[in-house]
Amino acid sequence: AQSVAQPEDQVNVAEGNPLTVKCTYSVSGNPYLFWYVQYPNRGLQFLLKYITGDNLVKGSYGFEAEFNKSQTSFHLKKPSALVSDSALYFCAVRDDQYNFNKFYFGSGTKLNVKP
C-alpha cells in the first residue's frame, strides 16, 4: 500500500528564515511524489513533484524538495520564508502502478510564518 507521513502538525518559522516541512513515504514500485498547498477554504495548489530524474526538485513560489531514496523522504524546503507562505501543506504519493493514479495524502502540516 502507498502512504505518506507528515510527522509535524505545525511548523513555526520567522519570516526570512529557512523552512522545512517533512514528509516520508512508503510505496510499492516507483514513487511519484507531490507537494500541494492549501489556503483556507480553497482547493489545492500544485507546488512541485518528483517523478524521476534529479533528486532536487524546484517548484513554484521558490519552494524545492529533495527526494531521498535511502531515507524515503521528500522534505519541502524554502531558503527564506514569507508571511504569505502561511498555509496548509500536503505531501502526497500518486499510485500509477496499482491503483489507477489515485492520490494518497499525508495528514497535512500547518505552516505559520511570523513577521
Partner 1 sequence: GAVVSQHPSWVICKSGTSVKIECRSLDFQATTMFWYRQFPKQSLMLMATSNEGSKATYEQGVEKDKFLINHASLTLSTLTVTSAHPEDSSFYICSARDLASITNEQFFGPGTRLTVL
Task: Catalog residues that contact partner 1 under the rule CB under 8 A.
Answer: 36, 41-44, 46, 51, 90, 94, 96, 100-108
- CB-CB contact of 11 with 113 (8 Å): no
Q: Return the biggest CA–CA distance within the chain.
A: 44
Residue partners of 17: CB distance under 8 A and separation at least 6: 80, 81
User: Minimal distance in Å, beta carbon 54 to partner 1?
Assistant: 16
Cβ 31 vs Cβ 25: under 8 Å? yes
| Min dist. Cβ of residue 74 to partner 1 (A) | 16
Nearer to partner 1, 41 or 70 (CB): 41
> Cβ 15 to partner 1, closest distance in Å?
24
Nearer to partner 1, 15 or 104 (CB): 104
The nearest distance, CB 112 to partner 1, in angstroms, is 14
The cell for 113 is 510564518
Residue 68 has which C-alpha cell?
531521498
* 26/80 with CB nearer partner 1: 26
